[in-house]
C-alpha cells in the first residue's frame, strides 16, 4: 500500500511584490536626490583665450512693405553685401548678424 501525502508544501518565494517596492524606492530616491543637491559637483570649466561676443554686430531688418534696413539705414537689396562688408570688415560670419523679418514679408519676395 502506497500512502502519499495529499497536501504538499510549496517552498517557493514570490518576488513580484518585492520588485515593485524596490522600483518605487529607486524612483523616489532618484527624484529626491536631485532636489537635495542640484549642484553637487563644482566644475571649473577652462577659459579660452578668445571670447566670442554673444551680441550681434549688426542687424538686418525687412519690413512688411519689403524695405531693407541695416541697423537704421535703408538700403537696396543689391547693396546688402557691400554694406555688410563695410560694417563687419572682410571677416563676415553669419553668427554676428541678426535678421529681423516682419510677419507679412516673405524672404522670396524680399530678394526680388
φ/ψ bin of 89: left (φ > 0), alpha (ψ from -120 to 50), beta (otherwise): left
Query: What whole-number distance in Å separates Cα of residue 38 and Cα of residue 31?
Result: 11
Contact call for residues 65 and 51 (beta carbons, < 8 A): no
Looking at residue 30, what is its pLDDT? 86
Q: Where are the domains of the chain?
A: 58-103
Looking at residue 41, what is its pLDDT? 65
Cα–Cα–Cα angle for 35, 36, 41, nearest 5°? 100
Predicted model pTM: 0.42
The pLDDT tens digits of the residues spanning 59-108 come to 888 888 888 898 888 999 888 888 888 877 766 555 567 777 776 655 55
The pLDDT tens digits of the residues spanning 7-46 come to 777 778 778 889 999 999 999 988 887 666 556 667 677 7
Enter the C-alpha cell of residue 50: 578668445
Looking at residue 40, what is its pLDDT? 61
pLDDT band at residue 110 using 50, 70 and 90 as cut-offs: very low
Looking at residue 26, what is its pLDDT? 94
Amino acid at each position: 500500500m502506497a500512502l502519499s501525502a495529499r497536501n504538499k508544501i510549496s517552498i517557493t518565494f514570490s518576488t513580484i511584490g518585492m520588485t515593485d517596492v524596490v522600483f518605487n524606492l529607486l524612483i523616489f530616491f532618484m527624484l529626491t536626490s536631485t532636489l537635495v543637491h542640484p549642484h553637487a559637483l563644482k566644475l571649473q570649466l577652462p577659459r579660452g583665450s578668445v571670447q566670442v561676443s554673444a551680441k550681434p554686430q549688426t542687424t538686418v531688418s525687412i519690413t512688411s512693405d519689403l524695405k531693407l534696413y541695416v541697423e537704421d539705414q535703408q538700403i537696396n537689396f543689391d547693396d546688402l553685401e557691400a554694406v555688410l562688408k563695410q560694417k563687419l570688415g572682410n571677416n563676415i560670419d553669419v553668427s554676428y548678424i541678426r535678421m529681423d523679418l516682419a510677419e507679412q514679408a516673405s524672404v522670396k519676395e524680399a530678394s526680388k
